[in-house]
Structure 1
Amino acid sequence: MVASTGPRAEAYGRREPQAGARREAGAALLVAATPAEAAVLLAGAGGPGEVTVVCLESGGPQERQAFERAASDSARQGRRVRGEPRVLASRDDAAQAVLAELRTLRPALVITTGPDAPSGGPAADPGAERRRTAAASAALRAADAYQRESGQPLLVDCRDPALTDATGTGLRPRYALPGTWLIRGNDGRLSAYLPTAGAVLRWTESVAGRWSGPERLDAPGLLPGLTVVQGPDGYVRLIGLRRTEGPGGAVTVDVVCATQYQTGRPAGPWHSLGNPHRAEPERGRHVGFPVAAFDDDGTLHVFLRNDEHTVNTRHEKSNGSWSSWQHLRGTRTADELVALRVPDGRVELFARLRDVPGTARWSRTGRDGAWAEDTGPGVHAAADSLAPAPESGALRYRYAGTGELCQWQWNAPGPVALLSSEAMGRVTGATGVDIGGWACTVLVTTDPYGHCLVGFHVDGRPDSGVWWSGTEQWCLVPPAVVRDGRGRLTIAALGADARLAVTRRMPGGQALDLGPWA
Structure 2
Amino acid sequence: MALRLLRGKDGRLTAYAPVTGGVARWTEDRPGGAEWTGPWLIEVSGRLAGLTVVQSPEGYAHLVGLRHRPGGAGEPTRVDIVHATQFQSGRPLTAWHSLGTPHPKDPRKAERTGPPAAAVDSSGALRVFVRNAGGGVSARRQDPKGTWERWTDWKGMHVLGGMSAAATADGRLELLAPAGKGAALRWYQPKPGAAPKRGEDVPADARPDSASMVESSPGTLTHYWRDARSGEVMAWRPDSPAPAPLGGATGTGPVAAVRAVVDGHDCTVLAHQDPASGGLAVAAHPCEDEAAGVWWTPSGEQGAHTPALALDGQGRVVLAALALDGKLLVARQKTDERGLALQAWTRVGSG
**Alignment partner, residue 513 of structure 1:** 341
TM superposition shift of 1:326: 0.6
1:436 aligned to which of 244, 263, 274: 263
For the Cα contact (< 8 Å) 1:313–1:327, is it kept in 2?
yes
SS of the aligned residue for 2:108 comes to helix
Residues 294 and 225 (structure 1), Cα distance of their counterparts in 2 relative to 1, 3 Å cut: same
* Of 470, 474, 478, the match for 2:302: 474
1:254-293 residue pairs with structure 2 within 5 A?
254-293=80-119
1:230 equivalent in structure 2: 55
Asked if residue 316 in structure 1 is aligned to residue 142 in structure 2, the reply is: yes
Q: Report the equivalent of 1:68.
A: none
Residue-by-residue CA offset, 1:383-410 (whole Å, 9 max, x unaligned): 3322223424211122233333221013
Higher deviation after alignment, 489-498 or 457-466: 457-466
Distance across 2 between alignment mates of 1:405 and 1:473: 22
Question: Is 1:389 the equivalent of 2:217?
Answer: no
| % identical aligned pairs | 37
1:329-348 alignment to 2 at 5 Å? 329-341=155-167, 345-348=171-174
Distance in 1 between residues matched to 2:215 and 2:194, nearest whole Å: 25
Residue 254 of structure 2 is matched in structure 1 by 426
For 1:394, what is the secondary structure of its paired residue? strand
Find the residue that maps to 2:291 and give its secondary structure: helix
> Which letter maps to 1:385?
S
Matched-pair contact (CA < 8 Å) for 2:270–2:283:
yes
Cα deviation code 1:34-61 (max 9, x no counterpart): xxxxxxxxxxxxxxxxxxxxxxxxxxxx
Tell me how far 1:373 sits from its aligned partner: 5.8
Structure 1 unaligned runs (5+)? Answer: 1-176
CA distance in 2, matches of 1:331, 1:421: 27
Distance 1:441 1:302, change over 3 A: same
Q: Find out whether 1:349 has 2:172 as its counterpart.
A: no
Please tell me whether the aligned partners of residues 408 and 414 of structure 1 are also in contact (alpha carbons under 8 angstroms). Answer: yes
Report deviation, 1:309: 1.5
Residues 444, 455 of structure 1: 8 Å contact kept: yes
Residue in structure 2 matching 1:307, options 108, 113, 133:
133
SS in structure 2 at match of 1:191: strand
Residue 516 to residue 197, structure 1, CA distance change in 2 (3 Å): same
Q: What's the counterpart of residue 88 of structure 1? A: none
**Higher Cα Rg: structure 1 or 2?**
1
* Matching residue within 202, 205, 209 for 1:380: 205
In structure 2, how many angstroms separate the alpha carbons of the residues matched to 1:378 and 1:262? 40
Match of 1:62 in 2: none
Q: Residues of 1 paired with 2:169 and 2:13: CA distance?
A: 26
Task: Say whether the 8 Å CA contact 2:6–2:14 is kept in structure 1.
Answer: yes
Q: Which residue does 1:190 correspond to in 2?
A: 13
Residue 474 of structure 1, CA deviation = 2.9
TM-score by length of 1: 0.61
* Greater share of residues in strand: 2
Q: 2:315 aligns with which of 481, 487, 493?
A: 487
1:202 aligned residue? 25
One-letter identity of the residue aligned with 2:68: R
1:245 positional shift: 4.2
Does the CA-based 8 Å contact 1:342-1:410 persist in structure 2?
A: no
Gapped regions of structure 2 (runs ≥ 5): 347-351
Q: Cα offset for 1:486?
A: 1.1
Shift of 1:247: 5.3
Residue 476 of structure 1: how far off its partner (Å): 4.7
Following TM superposition, by how much is the alpha carbon of 1:193 offset from its aligned partner in structure 2, in angstroms? 0.3
Per the alignment, do residues 512 and 373 of structure 1 end up closer, same or farther by CA in structure 2, a change over 3 Å counting? closer
Aligned to 2:41, the other structure's residue is in SS state strand
TM-score (norm 2): 0.88
Cα pair 2:65 2:83 within 8 Å, conserved: yes
Q: Is 1:418–1:465's contact at 8 Å kept on the other side of the alignment?
A: yes
The answer to whether structure 1 residue 294 and structure 2 residue 120 are counterparts is: yes
**Distance in 1 between the 2:189 and 2:258 partners?**
27
Q: 1:275 to 1:210 in 2, by over 3 A?
A: same
SS at match of 1:463: helix
- Match of residue 18 from structure 1: none
Flag the structure with higher helix content. 1
Among candidates 497, 500, 515, match of residue 325 of structure 2:
497
C-alpha RMSD over aligned residues: 2.3
* Count of aligned pairs: 338
How far apart, in 2, do the equivalents of 1:297 and 1:412 lie?
28
Alpha carbons 2:187, 2:196 under 8 Å: kept = no
Residue aligning to 2:185: 360
| Matched residue SS, 1:336 | coil
